[in-house]
C-alpha cells in the first residue's frame, strides 16, 4: 500500500533543515549505499535538490547538473546555497554539499512548477516490455553483494537486458527495469532524481561488472509522474579510454516520459 511521504524511508533519508547562520544541514543515511559504504549519487542529488527547495519560490526541481568531487559515506553534511536569478516561472540556485571529508558535490539546480500535460511531440516512445510481474527481481551475479540501495528499491529487470545476471553478456550496454520505492511511496520529481542513477551501470549488460563512479550527472525532470511503477532505461553510446557515457530515460505508469539524464562515469577496472 502506498505510504504517505512522512512514513517514507526516502523522505526521512533526504530530510534537511535550515542551519543557524545560513545553509542547510542533513544526516546522510548510510543505508542508501551502492557498495563499500559509498552513497548513491542519485540519493545525494535528491538531498541537494530538497535543500534548494527549502528556499525556492517554486516546488519542483526541473534541471539538476552536478559534479561529484569525492565518494561520500553516511554522516552529517552541510549544503551551502547560492541563490541565482529568480522569476515568475523558474529560479536558479547553486548548491555545494560538504561532509567532514570536504566538498563532495556541487550542483546547479533549476526549480519551476511541473504538471502532467501530455507531450506536444516526443521521440521517446515507451519501450514494449513485459509487465513488472513478468520481469526479474533485482538479482545480483554470484559473489556480488547486494547494496543497501537495492534493498530500498523494488527493481524488476526486463529479461531482454538481464542476461548479465546469469553470465550471458549482451552485445550492447543497455539495461531496462521497472522501478519503485520498496515502501510503496509514490514517485515524484525528487524520486526521479534517485531513479536516474539507481540502475547498475549499463556496462554490466556487456559484462563490465564493478563500481563505475559518476563524475558528472545532469537530470531533466519533464513532468509529474503518475502513481505506480516507473520504467527506467540506461544505455551507453561510447565506452573507451576508461570512461563511459550513460543516457537514462524514465517513463511513468501511463507511458509518459517524465525524466531524462546523462552522465559521465569512470569504467570499472
Query: What's the pTM?
Result: 0.93
* Category of 242 on φ-ψ map: left (φ > 0), alpha (ψ -120 to 50) or beta: left
In this predicted structure, the answer to whether residue 5 has a pLDDT above a threshold of 70 is no
Q: Read off the pLDDT of residues 33-76 as tens digits, 9 standing for 90 and up.
A: 998 899 999 999 999 999 999 999 999 999 999 999 999 999 99
Q: Read off the pLDDT of residues 160-184 as tens digits, 9 standing for 90 and up.
A: 988 887 778 888 889 999 999 999 9
- Supply the pLDDT for residue 140: 61
In this predicted structure, the answer to whether residue 200 has a pLDDT above a threshold of 80 is yes
8-state DSSP, 48: H
Per-residue pLDDT, averaged over 153-157, amounts to 94
Look at residues 101, 77, 66 and name the one whose alpha carbon lies nearest to residue 214: 66
Confidence category of residue 144, pLDDT binned at 50, 70, 90: low
CA 161 to chain centre: 19
Topology of the domain comprising 5-113+129-266: Porin (2.40.160)
- Arithmetic mean of pLDDT over the chain: 91
In this predicted structure, the answer to whether residue 116 has a pLDDT above a threshold of 90 is yes
Residue 48 phi, psi (nearest 5): -65, -40
Confidence category of residue 3, pLDDT binned at 50, 70, 90: very low
- Supply the pLDDT for residue 239: 84
- Supply the pLDDT for residue 2: 46
Q: Is 21 exposed, middle or buried (0-12, 13-18, 19+ CB in 10 A)?
A: exposed
- Supply the pLDDT for residue 242: 86
Distance CA 102, CA 130 (A): 44
CB 241 within 8 A of CB 184: no
- Supply the pLDDT for residue 207: 75
8-state DSSP, 144: P
Confidence category of residue 29, pLDDT binned at 50, 70, 90: very high
Confidence category of residue 1, pLDDT binned at 50, 70, 90: very low
Q: Which three cell numbers stand for residue 69?
A: 568531487
Each domain of the chain, given as residue ranges in start order, spans 5-113+129-266
Distance CA 60, CA 56 (A): 9
The string of DSSP codes covering 217-245 is: EEEEE-SPPPSS-EEEEEE-S-EETTEEE
CA 257 to chain centre: 15
Look at residues 72, 81, 12, 76 and name the one whose alpha carbon lies nearest to residue 44: 72
CB 41 within 8 A of CB 32: no
Distances, alpha carbon 230 to alpha carbons 38, 86, 111, 171, 182, in Å? 25, 31, 22, 25, 13
- Supply the pLDDT for residue 230: 98
The residues facing 266 across adjacent strands are 243
SS3 169: coil
The string of DSSP codes covering 179-224 is: EEETT-PPP-HHHHHHHTTTSPPGGGGGT--S---EEEEEEEE-SP
- Supply the pLDDT for residue 48: 98
Q: Read off the pLDDT of residues 201-245 as tens digits, 9 standing for 90 and up.
A: 888 877 777 778 899 999 999 999 999 999 999 999 988 888 989
Amino acid at each position: 500500500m502506498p505510504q504517505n511521504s512522512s512514513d517514507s524511508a526516502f523522505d526521512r533519508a533526504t530530510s534537511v533543515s535550515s542551519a543557524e547562520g545560513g545553509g542547510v544541514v542533513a544526516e546522510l543515511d548510510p543505508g542508501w549505499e551502492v557498495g563499500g559504504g559509498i552513497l548513491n549519487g542519485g540519493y545525494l542529488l535528491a538531498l541537494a535538490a530538497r535543500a534548494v527547495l527549502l528556499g525556492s519560490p517554486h516546488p519542483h526541481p526541473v534541471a539538476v547538473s552536478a559534479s561529484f568531487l569525492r565518494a561520500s559515506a553516511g554522516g552529517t553534511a552541510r549544503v551551502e546555497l547560492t541563490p541565482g536569478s529568480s522569476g515568475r516561472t523558474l529560479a536558479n540556485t547553486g548548491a555545494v554539499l560538504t561532509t567532514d571529508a570536504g566538498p563532495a558535490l556541487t550542483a546547479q539546480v533549476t526549480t519551476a512548477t511541473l504538471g502532467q500535460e501530455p507531450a506536444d511531440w516526443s521521440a521517446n516512445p515507451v519501450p514494449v516490455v513485459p509487465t513488472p510481474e513478468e520481469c526479474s527481481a533485482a538479482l545480483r551475479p554470484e559473489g556480488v553483494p547486494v547494496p543497501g540501495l537495492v534493498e530500498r528499491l523494488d527493481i524488476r529487470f526486463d529479461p531482454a537486458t538481464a542476461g548479465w545476471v546469469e553470465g550471458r553478456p549482451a552485445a550492447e550496454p543497455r539495461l531496462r527495469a521497472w522501478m519503485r520505492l520498496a515502501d510503496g511511496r509514490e514517485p515524484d520529481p525528487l524520486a526521479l532524481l534517485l531513479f536516474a542513477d539507481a540502475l547498475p551501470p549499463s556496462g554490466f549488460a556487456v559484462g563490465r561488472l564493478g563500481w563505475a563512479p559518476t563524475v558528472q550527472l545532469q537530470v531533466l525532470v519533464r513532468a509529474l509522474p503518475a502513481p505506480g511503477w516507473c520504467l527506467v532505461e540506461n544505455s551507453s553510446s561510447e565506452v573507451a579510454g576508461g570512461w563511459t557515457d550513460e543516457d537514462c530515460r524514465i517513463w511513468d505508469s501511463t507511458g509518459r516520459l517524465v525524466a531524462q539524464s546523462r552522465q559521465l562515469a569512470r569504467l570499472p577496472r
